[in-house]
Structure 1
Amino acid sequence: MSLKVDFIAAGGNRHPAAADWDPNGSGLLAFGAGNNLALWKPQATDGNGISELLRGHTDVINAVKFFPSGSSNDTIIVTGSADCTIRLWRRHGNSSMEQDPWVIDDHQDSINCIAVSANTNNFITGSADGTVKVWSLDHDSDAETPIEVKLWQTISLKPKYLSLALSLARLNDSSRVLAVAGTRSTIQIYTSEGKNFQLAASLTGHEGWIRSLAFARESEDPQSDLVLSSASQDKYIRLWRIHQGTELPAASKAGDDPILGSFGKSLSNKAHRFNCSRLDYSVTFEALLLGHEDWIYTAQWRRGPERGLELLSASADNSLAIWTPDPASGVWLSSARLGEISAQKGSTTATGSTGGFWIGLWSPSGDAVVSLGRTGSWRLWTHDTSSDSWSQQYATGGHVKEVKGIAWASDGSYLLSTSSDQTTRLFAEWKRTREKSWHEFSRPQIHGYDLNCIDTLGPHRFISGADEKLLRVFDEPKTVAEILFSLCGIEPPAASALPSAANIPVLGLSNKAVQPVAHDLDKMESDLIEDDTVQAQPSTSVADIRHPPLEDHLSRHLLFPEHEKLYGHGYEIATLAASHSGHVVATACRASSIDHAVIRLYETKEWREIRPPLTAHSLTVTSLEFSPDDKYLVSVGRDRQWAIFQRNADKPDVYELLTANPKGHSRMILGASWAPLAAGRVFATAGRDKTVKIWKLNEKEAECVASITATEPVTTVDFLQTPLDQGFCIAYGTDSGLINICCLEKDILQVIPETVVEIGSKLSPSKTVNQLLWRPLGGIQGANQRQYELAAASDDSSVRLYSFPMASLTAT
């Protein structure tokens, strides 16, 4: 069976060192996404987002660096993680990235930063164990030649602190210089003449932790002075000059800048002198860059052909700044400011503002910059040389915590996902003349509680459950419907049937329906500068966009208004399911007793609870699903039993217990799914006892007719609702992230061995698969459907969409 990954959504890690843009010409940007390594080409013309999500680390990736291999055909990435290991990844040409066998576990605590330098074979790692380690990396461009890594030196930081930033550069032809900083306000400068680095100077001046360091030559002359930038939580960037010679460099005029006020008097220009390779050097304070209003996380250099040296900084004040020296005075000024330049911060995460920008990166050519915000989504700006202006483009992103549930629209037109990061996201396929690609088109729900489950009620409404005692129902707004129609070809309902837009009030949890404001989005942002009490209002200009929404649109203007709340449960909502007709919703909450382990049903016309609640379980119900014709409801739970409820023939909204099996599995049951009607009354259950069991319902009893044995606990199962020539296709996911697909024979429902496919570790999630869902056939796909598609939600924070050509599933 052939398969490919059509789409991956995953948010970036909020760590300043967790991303890097390859300077060697591959176009790749690598970033940590949970414990996975994500690869993305921001400037690719096909519009696709993440191309690969590589598993290997067992904890969050904190540091990512491209090693200077010297060739775009030989890409090497070094990553450091909270799992205390350093891993190497390698790709030759256009092949897929492979994890190198080298796994370095010399550090005793989390790796926080990595430094590399062009024209050297060294990389440096800094860890929370209070040490900095110097490594040599030998490699050959030949794909068959393995990488060899050796430890050169371990530097114990004294007085002990945790390194958060490193920068490495050539000092001269035979020496290197290393800057180290972190959880102290001091920068330590080390130099080396051979293998070992020695402490040469300690630079003081900052008043907070230092989060970023970067070296650059002042000019293209390799003998020119080195300039070091240091960005700190004290909201300032300091520039330092390393000058060769006994005479000090000309005093900088930056300290005379009237903007500095009282700073000008207190800025020390003390010279720190040291000797290396029999040459004298001095380190002096050069400039103080003011302008950010909050912690500064990253500062990165580039040298442009026209402007010379430029510095890009990213701050928690939700802005990027580009700094250049004034040609006349030498004073460093902010020549461009990108992001949210206003006082409109909002009081809830609904504005998407709080948390600021954690990462700012230049593209290798300098014509684009990217930043990562608290929502896990990237922002991309490109530079127009003719107008000397920056414009924002669509980028990529995803959830930043475990994805707990997914749901297809009833016609398969879009996919909803919900997560412990307290957001619900809507993904759909952007259709152009010659290309198609999947993107996030709406963020319907930005909540104050972790979200656990979701299902759709028709093509334009959904219901979700969170770590609260109630459920919430949402309607698609007109703005989102217009975007989905114009970019994805999804037909909207009658215009009068939809609310206009939605908004979250300050300190509120409920999305309220509002009328859109008919003015330009950019003008709206500027209008809000003076009044930070105004709540961001949806703009009609959002519906006019001709590309997937930007992060600013998603986090503020594309919410779904809340239609209804459903009450009744005594604890946090654990699972829910909507009937295929959309007339009934079944829900369950976390429970440790029979009293709370009930299933509550709600009818969707008047939104009233259908009493009495259904009883069968004694512990939390983990999964619910209605049969394709809605005549039956299956429930499974942590009490190891499954139960079947049958619809009352006279009262179509009422269900009654038909049969139950208190010993369905030997351990808790985590998933259930009904087979297509063509199979008869057949359903599957998935348990932690490492089995998937196939049951056939006869009158009032159900018989186990087949059992699929897995190598580890099974956490989810789903039947493809389209019968195949030889039988019925089923997919199941496991506790470690593996996904398996197989076909069952039509008559005896046994597994057909030649149809068994395991989605390998390269393509499967790296943590528990929480839900699998086959995409419904029909709707906008119609007769043009040429493949089956399977969506997967995982604890590794990813949403993945796999596609299988029809022939690969139907061939015998």
Structure 2
Amino acid sequence: MIVKNVYTSIGVNRTPSSLDWGSNGLICYGACNAVAILSPTINGSCKIIKTLVEHTERVNTVKWIQRNNQAEFELVSGGDDSRCIYWNIKSPNDYRKISLNGHENSVTSVDAVFHNNEITIVTSSADSTVRLWRFKPEKEEKEISSFQVFNLSSGICFAVKLFVLPTNNILLAFATDDDKVHICGETSSQNFDKLETLLGHEDWVRSLDFTLDNIGDVLLATSSQDSFIRLWRISERSIKKEISVDELIKVDERTFAIGKKTFVLSLESVLQGHENWVYSVCWNKNKDDGALQLLSSSMDKTMIIWTGHFKEVKDICWEPKGEFLFSVSTDQTTRIHAAWTMNKCLNYHEISRPQVHGYDMQCIAVISRYKFASAAEEKIVRTFQAPGNFIENFRNLVNSENDLEGDEILKTHQKGASVPSLGLSNKAVYEEDLKHQVDEEKKFKDEYPENYFVPMTMQSPPTEEYLIQNTLWPESQKLYAHGYELYSLAATIDGKILASACKATTVEHSEIILWNTNNWKILQRLRSHKLTVTQMKFSHDSNRLLSVSRDRRLTIFEKNNEECFEAVAYTDRNNGIHERIIWCCCWSHDDKFFATGSRDGKVVVWTKSNEVQDSSLKDYQSVATLVLETSSVTALAFAQLSFNGYLLAIGLESGIIHIYKFNEKSFECLTTLNHSDGHHLSVNKLEFRPNFSGFQLASCGNDHLVRIYDIQG
């Protein structure tokens, strides 16, 4: 069986030096505990082509290593696990990695240079040290130790940078929490001595970058929390002198020596333009004319690069026709991902961000193509309906036909949504509001209008700014009934019933509430469990509801002649196979089987038989049990095989995804997705794409990733 990853979505970690764009055209960035490699030029768009997994905690910093101005194939990363890792990805199927051990706390910044057939790496850490490593990359080493350590006592280093001078010496700069930048030079013994200290910034310096100008001088850019950028010039000279700028101002030049060479350091310029902390600076030299450009990013929100969840992704759900995928995350957003045709190739992109919330999102249920319900760490279920501008753009994207639901929504003239000041509910913006908005903007030019939504026609995948401002969905209902924070949601295939459950430690709060989606009134309150219901699934015919819980029990509710659901079977201490919390459940496509997975590493498949037992399970029984001893089972998904049997995807707490064939009595492992191809933290949800000619599997996890796989063979 061949599994091909067709879509990976994950945001960059929110640390200042967690991204680097190499001359190889690839972007590497910290993505939870992994390093993601992204190509921005695939089919006229971008795609994550690989994730490198070795760190056991968040990756804080990454850096490509360039050899002699050639395309990079090496990089270095540092993380909260106190480790720095060198990666060699020249061979796509056999990545080399070397662990650089020595730090006793989080590695916060890293840089590296290739010089004299050796790689020199510098790292800073929350353990108040700056460490240097050097090794020959062609040697087969699994780990190395640092050759020099700068001890900062109780201080902290925020940024480090290495640079090879035209004189063939290596220069080191690092910034500390005393607002200073320290310059060190490589000596004949290949150690580094402190040469100069740069003063001038009035707050912590957060980023450094060197470049060589057209006359051979070195320029160092430093950016600070004082909102200023300072440019420093380092020139090779033999005589110290003062350069008169005018009669009142003089620039003092300081000299230092590296070996037999003398260098002069002076302040070149102070750049003021940002209104908040400047977190990053980066030089660029035009290949054609050598012109220098400096890029900076700041807390004043003047630079945004791309999208993706940046915290745990708790739940995913396909739109009923399988044309786009919803995801919710503890980054307090709901996002929509869909395939976009570019250059005759399909690439997945985030196309809408219907909800930006004030609480961590927990679960989602899709009611119809243009309606969904979501819940966060609050006691409310919120429902949303697509606005007209989304429907118009989506129709252009997929050439949708016979879209009666969309036609009805367009008649309401809801164009989009905005969030009022101090509010959590998305407010609908109508065509008439947009006319008033133009008048208001003319009236109050210096104030933001409340309805800042602007309808647009998407010609290409949307930017971050567009997603935040113009893709919200109006909130249509708030559902109040639960006593604690919501934990799980489920909806019938026909969208007529929504089930919700909250965190609970008693029978009363463990009840499942069924809602009528036509009028949003409560249909029933179902009691069976004693602790939190972790997951619920309706059968495809909408006549049965399966629920699993922290109380290690499963329950089957069936619809009776009065169109009401009642508990007809459940497990207890005598017939329950699971010995730990049951995390997940799913139905087969034909509703003949359902599966449950638990913390004890067991996957159990159940079915309804013709024999009624003298137990709480009645006419339900287990038919097969799979034991995965290495990790607890956290996600399950069934799919229909064209030949005899079923496809069962199993996600583990370790991040591994197994694809099994189930033939009604036994399991056969077809393939396994390891940490790099699957997830490197707990898999939270697996969903096969409905109404698809082959097999596409969507997954999400605590590692911030949303992935979509093509499965063949």
TM-score by length of 2: 0.92
Structure 1 unaligned runs (5+)?
257-263, 320-356, 358-370, 373-377, 379-396
User: What corresponds to 2:633 in structure 1?
Assistant: 714
Call closer, same or farther: CA 1:529–1:210 in 2, change over 3 Å: farther
Query: Can you list the C-alpha shifts for 1:114-170, whole angstroms capped at 9, x where unaligned?
Result: 123364531211111111112113134xxxx64687545323244642111112223
Deviation, 1:701, is 3.0
Judged with a 3 Å threshold, the aligned counterparts in structure 2 of structure 1 residues 73 and 236 are, in CA distance, closer, same or farther, namely closer
SS in structure 2 at match of 1:756: strand
Matched position secondary structure for 1:443: strand
Q: What is the CA distance between 1:740 and its match in structure 2?
A: 1.1
Shift of 1:644: 0.8
Q: Tell me the SS of whatever aligns to 2:45.
A: coil
Partners in 2 of 1:476 and 1:5 — Cα distance?
A: 29
Aligned position for 1:302:
284
SS at match of 2:89: strand
Q: CA deviation at 1:72?
A: 5.0
- The 3 A distance-change label for structure 1 pair 618 and 70 is same
Question: What is the aligned-residue identity percentage?
Answer: 32
Contact 2:429 2:451 in 1 (8 A): no
Structure 1, residues 6-55: CA drift from partner, whole Å, max 9, x if none?
A: 100000011221111112xx211111111111111223444242111221
**Corresponding position: 1:38 with 2:36:** yes
Worse-matched range after superposition: 116-125 or 553-562:
116-125
Partner residue, 1:697? 608
Alignment partners' CA distance in 1, 2:569 and 2:380: 28
Match of 1:209 among 204, 207, 230: 204
The aligned residue for residue 415 of structure 1 is: 325
What is the aligned counterpart of 1:759 among 673, 676, 679?
A: 673
Q: 1:448 aligns with which of 358, 367, 374?
A: 358
Structure 2: distance between partners of 1:764 and 1:559: 30
Q: Is the 8 A contact 1:716 1:769 kept in 2?
A: yes
Q: Quick one: distance in 2 between partners of 1:38 and 1:650?
A: 53
Measured in 2, the distance between the counterparts of 1:531 and 1:307 equals 40
Aligned-partner Cα distance in 2 for 1:529–1:155: 58
Q: Within 2, Cα distance between the matches of 1:576 and 1:655?
A: 16
Deviation at 1:728, TM superposition (A): 1.6
Distance 1:524 1:286, change over 3 A: farther
Question: Within 5 Å, which residues of 2 pair with 1:242-321?
Answer: 242-248=234-240, 251=243, 253=245, 269-304=251-286, 305-306=288-289, 308-319=291-302
Alignment of 1:541-552 (within 5 A): 542=456, 544-552=457-465
Deviations along 1:556-615, whole A, 9 cap, x unmatched? Answer: 11111111111100000000100111111111000011121111111111100123x111
The residue number in structure 1 matching 2:16 is: 16
User: Separation in 2 of the partners of 1:609 and 1:738?
Assistant: 39
Partner of 1:117: 113
- On the 8 A contact 2:256/2:263 being kept in 1, the answer is yes
Give, in whole Å, the separation in 2 of the partners of 1:190 and 1:15.
25
The Cα of 1:703 is off from its aligned counterpart by 0.9
Q: Which moved more, 1:149-158 or 1:188-197?
A: 149-158
Q: Is the Cα contact below 8 Å between 1:189 and 1:200 reproduced in 2?
A: yes
The letter for the 2-side match of 1:21 is W
Q: CA deviation at 1:101?
A: 3.8
Report 1:167-178 matches (<5 A). Answer: 167-171=161-165, 173-178=167-172
Give secondary structure in 2 for the equivalent of 1:555. Answer: helix
Q: Return the alpha-carbon distance in structure 1 between the equivalents of residues 454 and 482 of structure 2.
A: 37
Structure 2 equivalent of residue 198 of structure 1 = 193
Alpha carbons 1:136, 1:149 under 8 Å: kept: no
The structural deviation recorded for 1:252 is: 7.1
> In structure 2, how many angstroms separate the alpha carbons of the residues matched to 1:605 and 1:148?
62
Q: Tell me by how many angstroms 1:248 deviates.
A: 3.9
Query: How much is the aligned-residue C-alpha RMSD, in angstroms?
Result: 2.5
Does 2:533 align with 1:621? yes
Report if the CA contact (8 A) 1:431-1:489 is conserved: no
Runs of 4+ in 1 over 6 A off after TM superposition: 517-520, 523-529
Q: Greater CA deviation, 278-287 or 489-498?
A: 489-498
Contact between 1:135 and 1:149, CA under 8 Å: does it hold in 2?
A: no
Q: How does 1:22-421 map to 2 (within 5 A)?
A: 22-23=22-23, 26-70=24-68, 75-92=73-90, 95-96=92-93, 98-117=94-113, 119=115, 121-140=119-138, 146=140, 150-151=144-145, 153-158=147-152, 160-171=154-165, 173-194=167-188, 195-219=190-214, 221=215, 224-248=216-240, 251=243, 253=245, 269-304=251-286, 305-306=288-289, 308-319=291-302, 357=303, 371-372=304-305, 378=306, 397-421=307-331
Determine helix, strand or coil for the equivalent of 1:485: helix
Take 2:129 and 2:223, find their aligned partners in 1: how far apart are those partners? Answer: 21
- What does residue 803 of structure 1 align with? 710
CA distance, structure 2, for counterparts of residue 605 and residue 231 of structure 1: 56
SS in 1 for 2:311: coil
**C-alpha distance in 1 between matches for 2:681 and 2:110:** 26
Deviation track 1:611-659 (CA, whole Å, cap 9, x = no partner) reads 3x111111100000111111111110000001111112222xx211111
How far, CA to CA, are the matches of 2:203 and 2:440 in structure 1?
A: 31
Contact 1:74–1:90 (CA<8 Å) still a contact in 2? Answer: no
Query: Separation in 1 of the partners of 2:671 and 2:652?
Result: 14
**For the Cα contact (< 8 Å) 2:583–2:599, is it kept in 1?**
yes
Partner SS for 1:497: helix
1:427–1:439: 8 Å Cα contact kept in structure 2?
yes
Given the alignment of the two structures, is residue 558 of structure 1 paired with residue 471 of structure 2, yes or no?
A: yes
Map residues 490-509 of structure 1 onto 2, 5 A cutoff.
490-491=400-401, 492=403, 493-498=405-410, 499-509=414-424
TM-score by length of 1: 0.81
Task: Count matched residues.
Answer: 691
Distance 1:57 1:99, change over 3 A: farther
Shift of 1:760: 2.7
1:470 paired to 2:380: yes
Specify every segment of 5 or more residues in structure 2 that has no aligned partner in the other structure, as ranges. Answer: 613-617
Cα 1:716/1:148, change in 2 over 3 Å: closer
Other structure's SS at 1:15 match: coil
CA distance in 2 between counterparts of 1:315 and 1:228 reads: 18
Q: Shift of residue 217 of structure 1?
A: 2.1
Instruction: Please give the secondary structure, in 1, of the residue aligned with 2:520.
Output: coil
Q: Does the 8 Å CA contact 1:138/1:147 hold for their aligned counterparts?
A: no
Q: Which amino acid aligns with 2:229?
A: I
2:615 counterpart residue number: none
> 1:297 Cα shift?
0.8
What code does the residue aligned with 1:481 have?
Answer: I
Tell me whether 569-578 or 104-113 shows the greater mean CA deviation: 104-113
Structure 1 residue 588 corresponds to structure 2 residue 510:
no
Deviates more, 1:686-695 or 1:163-172: 163-172
Counterparts in 2 of 1:436 and 1:525: CA distance versus 1, 3 Å: farther
Once the two structures are TM-superposed, the CA of residue 517 in structure 1 deviates from its matched residue by 8.2
Q: Secondary structure at the match of 2:651?
A: strand
Q: Distance in 2 between matches of 1:129 and 1:525?
A: 54
1:175-194 superposed Cα distances (whole Å, 9 cap, x missing partner) = 32211103220111111223
Query: How many Å separate the matches in 2 of 1:527 and 1:238?
Result: 39
- Deviation sequence 1:197-239 (CA, Å, 0-9, x none): 11111111111110111122232x4xx3322111000000111
CA distance in 2, matches of 1:6, 1:496: 34
Q: For 1:478, give the aligned amino acid.
A: G
Distance 2:443 2:659 in 1: 52
The 1:300–1:536 alpha-carbon spacing in structure 2 relative to 1, beyond 3 Å, is: farther
Match of 1:362 in 2: none
* Alignment partner, residue 3 of structure 2: 3
Cα distance, 1:270 vs structure 2:
4.0
Shift of 1:686: 0.5
Distance across 1 between alignment mates of 2:317 and 2:479: 19
1:341 is matched with which residue? none
1:601-620 paired onto structure 2 within 5 Å: 601-611=514-524, 613-620=525-532
Q: Kindly tell me: are residues 461 and 77 of structure 1, through their superposed partners in 2, closer, same or farther at Cα, counting changes over 3 Å? A: same
